[in-house]
Amino acid sequence: MTILVTGGLGYIGSHTVVELLNNNFDVVIIDDLSNTERFILKNIEEITGKKPIFYPFDLKRKELLKQVFDAHKIEGCIHFAAYKAVGESQEKPIDYYENNLFSLINLLQEMKERNISNFIFSSSCTVYGQADKMPIDENTPLKLPESSYGKTKQMGEEILKDFATAHQKKITLLRYFNPIGAHPSAKLGELPIGIPNNLVPYVMQTAAGVREKLSVWGDDYPTEDGTAIRDYIYVVDLAKAHVKALQKLINVSSDTLVDIYNLGTGKGSSVLEVVHAFEKANDVAVPYQICERRAGDITIAYANADKAEKELGWKSETSLEEALRTVWQWQKYLETREK
């Protein structure tokens, strides 16, 4: 069965392509290389011994997208391709709406015209905003996200629900908590392009001496150590959830057209807990300073992922420390590549 993976050379996309190939799916990747590099394709091939088909273009180019659907018998789609930097989305909201919504709409037009089912959408726990109670399950009311990025995810979900209802198509929305870590082979990971926004890539670069000090954004939150709490989920575990979700879409008849799953560990960790876990796991120092809170940050978010366990047979398996060990291996790999 051939699955189209958009953004398949990106961080979560590349790990998911590996899991799909390992589970005997054929994969067609579309990625415009705007936030990744070509060597990731070669590394996917080295890890799996298989060659996914790759098209380097932007999904807004409808005529090219049509050609891909003409050339392959696509039977499902996992849609990762999107801009994802929260801060940048505040400076360039229109670029975010244009990119994230038009690519989704173009894809859905093709799926509709060709009567293709099985669509999985990369959503985010950002759609919950600061939830009133923890842990967050899928019935937690959504709040308007602060960032335009977050709004594109919420709008994407709404577009997909309408699509599913009008065209009787089964779709799955996966709401990720905070993905971290790298492939155990150290050949795939989050590419640090520019100054990292996210915590773990910044910690990685600080430990490596690329950055002088980590800024811990706020130690006056109402949490035990005063720093904000998130649910950090290992990227390979996350990738495996996509295969399970796809297998369910394909094989299991369901009464619901739209299935929504939270993907997290169910455990919250504070910023300082992550820093200290990284130091312990890798026996390195991470110098840091406490700074003011970052605008738009929430205090706490962690998942109740019981629904994914019950319905997909999936749960997070990898500890925070194990995940952080793979991050350091990935940094070492990137250093050898530079030489």
- The catalytic site residues sit at 149
Binding-residue pattern over the window 6 to 25 for ligand UFG, x denoting contact by CB under 6 A:
--------------------
> Which listed range, 53-61, 66-74, 118-126, 311-319, lies at the site for ligand UFG (CB under 6 A)?
118-126
Q: Within positions 42 to 81, which residues make up the interface with ligand UFG, using CB under 6 A?
A: none
> Which listed range, 73-81, 104-112, 210-218, 308-316, lies at the site for ligand UFG (CB under 6 A)?
210-218
User: Does residue 206 belong to the site contacting ligand UFG (CB under 6 A)?
Assistant: no
* Alpha-carbon distances, residue 216 vs 103, 283, 287 (angstroms): 35, 20, 10
**Smallest distance, ligand UFG to C-beta of residue 259, A:** 19
Contact 180, 200 (CB under 8 A): yes
Q: How far apart are CA 203 and CA 269, in angstroms?
A: 15
Specify the residue, 43 or 206, whose C-beta has the smaller distance to ligand UFG.
206
Please state the φ and ψ torsions of residue 313, each to the nearest 5 degrees.
65, 35
Specify the residue, 53 or 208, whose C-beta has the smaller distance to ligand UFG.
208
**Smallest distance, ligand UFG to C-beta of residue 62, A:** 27
Number of residues that bind ligand UFG (CB under 6 A): 20
Contact 283, 277 (CB under 8 A): no
**Smallest distance, ligand UFG to C-beta of residue 179, A:** 8
Q: How many CA atoms lie within 13 A of 220 on its CB side?
A: 4
Contact 157, 123 (CB under 8 A): yes
User: Does residue 215 belong to the site contacting ligand UFG (CB under 6 A)?
Assistant: yes
Specify the residue, 69 or 278, whose C-beta has the smaller distance to ligand UFG.
278
Alpha-carbon dihedral sign for residues 235, 51, 1, 79: positive
* The two structure tokens encoding residue 5: 């993976």
**Smallest distance, ligand UFG to C-beta of residue 178, A:** 5
Does residue 287 have a cis bond before it (omega within 30 degrees)? Answer: no
User: Which of 198, 279, 284, 309 touches ligand UFG by CB under 6 A?
Assistant: 198
**Smallest distance, ligand UFG to C-beta of residue 251, A:** 29
Contact 312, 244 (CB under 8 A): yes
User: Does residue 297 belong to the site contacting ligand UFG (CB under 6 A)?
Assistant: yes
Specify the residue, 122 or 282, whose C-beta has the smaller distance to ligand UFG.
122
* Burial readout 130-157 (b: 16 or more C-beta within 10 A, e: otherwise): ebeebbbebebeebebbbbbbbbbbbbb
Please state the φ and ψ torsions of residue 118, each to the nearest 5 degrees.
70, 70
User: Does residue 272 belong to the site contacting ligand UFG (CB under 6 A)?
Assistant: no
β partners of residue 269: 230
Specify the residue, 52 or 196, whose C-beta has the smaller distance to ligand UFG.
196
* The two structure tokens encoding residue 173: 């929305």
User: Which of 20, 86, 191, 281 touches ligand UFG by CB under 6 A?
Assistant: 86
Place of tokens 């299991």: 252
Q: How far apart are CA 192 and CA 201, in angstroms?
A: 7
State the chain's maximal CA–CA distance in angstroms. Answer: 56
User: Does residue 90 belong to the site contacting ligand UFG (CB under 6 A)?
Assistant: no
User: Which 8-state DSSP code applies to residue 299?
Assistant: S
User: Does residue 223 belong to the site contacting ligand UFG (CB under 6 A)?
Assistant: no
Reported residue count of the chain is 339
**Smallest distance, ligand UFG to C-beta of residue 226, A:** 11
User: Does residue 108 belong to the site contacting ligand UFG (CB under 6 A)?
Assistant: no
Specify the residue, 267 or 294, whose C-beta has the smaller distance to ligand UFG.
294
**Smallest distance, ligand UFG to C-beta of residue 147, A:** 7
Residues that bind ligand UFG in the complex, under the rule CB under 6 A = 84, 86, 124-126, 150, 178, 197-199, 202, 214-217, 228, 230, 271, 294, 297
